[in-house]
Amino acid sequence: MEILLTNDDGIYAPAIAVLKETLKDLGNVTVVAPDVEQSGASHSITFNRPIIARKVFLNNTFFGYGISGSPADCVKLAVRELMEKPADIIVSGINMGANIGINVLHSGTVAAAIEGAIIGIPSLAVSLEYSEIPEIKNAAMFAKNIVAHLTEHTISKGTLLNINIPALQKENIKGVKVTHQHAFGFNERFDRHTDPDGQTFYWLSGDGKPSSYGQGTDMEAICNGYISITPLQFDMTNYNALSKISDLASSSL
């Protein structure tokens, strides 16, 4: 099996090395990841400047390609240029911090998997809830199990899997839930500060928590100690709303 591995924490992030080592049991793993951290890069792409790919060596061994671009760029460049054989599956992660709820939209980790799905390759994003001493090996083992159990029909066309793992030791994880995205905003605010010239500047703040977790959501699963698997699609159309705006369309020209 040809596995493409990327992330948004950058090619030197410890978790991608652990995941590479773990996924090696299943096939040939090619790492193509951003050369610096790209957290919050979302689905940005690089089209107005060139992209540089440098070979990265760890412990004097070739580890992968470090890319001067976003996670989505890494997937495009890996598939179109860098991989010698076509990728059978794309794994993005392990991200340090859950990508659930609205954060799905901000995440470079998820965007890389979306890019893979657009290209038409089964893709999954793997994120681990934040903790000071993250259980990276357990998360990597779970990602490996998922990859091993995927069949040709598991992932629908136009869909990717967004996997989030709670920050718990393996024996304390309660199970696996298939969830939908928690689609509500967080409590957020801006902290105000004053610069040396007396001007106000701002820093996005807040506890990152919503007022409710919702039922059957990715957020509810993680907060209750379950692994969450959410099928995401990149067609963002609200099909139920199409009829509502037909009057608007006819009256506005």
Q: Contacts with a second copy in 14-73 (CB under 8 A)?
A: 39-54, 72-73
Residue choice 59, 60, 215, 246 for contact with a second copy (CB under 8 A): 246
Q: What is the DSSP code (8-state) at residue 191?
A: E
Q: How many residues bind a second copy (CB under 8 A)?
A: 90
Residue 122 beta carbon to a second copy: minimum distance, rounded to whole angstroms: 12
Residue 193 beta carbon to a second copy: minimum distance, rounded to whole angstroms: 7
Torsion of CA 236, 127, 109, 154, to 10 degrees: -60
Q: Give the orientation angle of helix 136-149 with respect to helix 14-23, to 10 degrees.
A: 40
Closest CA to 99 of 90, 84, 81, 112: 112
Handedness of CA 220, 228, 217, 103 (dihedral sign): positive
Handedness of CA 175, 181, 183, 187 (dihedral sign): positive
Residue 40 beta carbon to a second copy: minimum distance, rounded to whole angstroms: 5
The answer to whether the CB of 17 falls within 8 A of the CB of 43 is no
- CB closer to a second copy, 133 vs 253: 253
Residue 14 beta carbon to a second copy: minimum distance, rounded to whole angstroms: 19
Residue 27 beta carbon to a second copy: minimum distance, rounded to whole angstroms: 17
**Binding piece for a second copy, criterion CB under 8 A, among 21-29, 57-65, 127-135, 181-189:** 181-189
Site string for a second copy, 223-242 (x = CB under 8 A): ----x-xxxxxxxxxxxxxx
| Residues 183-202, interacting with a second copy (CB under 8 A) | 183-185, 188-190, 192-193, 195, 199-202
- CB closer to a second copy, 80 vs 85: 80
Strand pairing partners for 204? 190
| Residues 109-148, interacting with a second copy (CB under 8 A) | 111, 114, 118-120, 142, 145-146
Three-class SS state of 213: coil
Closest CA to 5 of 183, 158, 126: 126
| Residues 86-115, interacting with a second copy (CB under 8 A) | 102, 104-106, 111, 114
| Residues 151-180, interacting with a second copy (CB under 8 A) | 153-156, 158-159, 161, 173, 175-178, 180
Q: Does 203 engage in binding with a second copy (CB under 8 A)?
A: yes
d(Cα 232, Cα 162) in Å, to the nearest integer? 7
Closest CA to 100 of 112, 109, 89, 91: 109
